[in-house]
Amino acid sequence: MFPRTALVTGGASGIGAAIVGLLRDEGAEVRALDLSDGFDVSDPAAWEEVGPVELACLNAGVVTGEGNMAALTDAQYRRILGANVDGVVLGTRRLSRVMQPGGAIVATASLAGLIPAPEDPVYTLTKHAVVGFVRSAAPQLEALGIRINAVAPGFVDTPMIGDAKERFDEAGFPLLRPDDVARAVLLAARSAETGQVFVVQPGREPLQFRFPNIPGPRDPAGARVGPPPG
């Protein structure tokens, strides 16, 4: 069985609670780490108390609640960076030190990490950061025998969407349930892939996102140039 042991940040509510419930139903011993219980994912010292597990779900996240950049406060900015970015980076750093080969890390990103989301530009920034970090950290973690992937759900019916739920309901727009995302997290955790992002949308199975290639350089004669060695 995989995993036998796990941790979930932001595990007291919403998607995190759904992940905790699913893993426990699967027979795993799960530790839920949440600010409501005194665990601050942005605190490096807190992570030093975390021991090895087979699966780490780095899920804790917040929104700013502010779409107007001119009105964004310093406190809102620092809070969201701490939860959404520091929580993933510091968690991955600690786990890279203590996790055994065969372990897996899954970070909760968002569709806002793949496309623009003008209603909360800083939330979008943090989720793009998570996607880029997961893809970039994967090779060195793979050398340690650890896989890292991300899930990118669309809109989920949790308290985080706030008053917007009424607008979705009125428009007949389907929302994901936290359980939908939890199942995608488990799929990503058990995947042999690493450095991948699994998109989660209502009415669809989780789908591995295909990133587009970017144009490469050419020499003065117009021939393609490969990357530098090393």
Rounded CA-CA distance 71/191 in Å is 42
Strand partners, 133: none
32 Cβ neighbours under 8 A, 6+ residues apart: 7, 8, 11, 12, 16, 17, 20
Rounded CA-CA distance 46/223 in Å is 52
* Active-site entry in 39, 47, 123, 133: 123
132 Cβ neighbours under 8 A, 6+ residues apart: none
Angle (nearest 5°) at CA 96 between 90 and 102: 135
Catalytic annotation on 77?
no
Of 112, 192, 182, nearest in space to 148 by CA: 192
Active site (catalytic) residues: 123
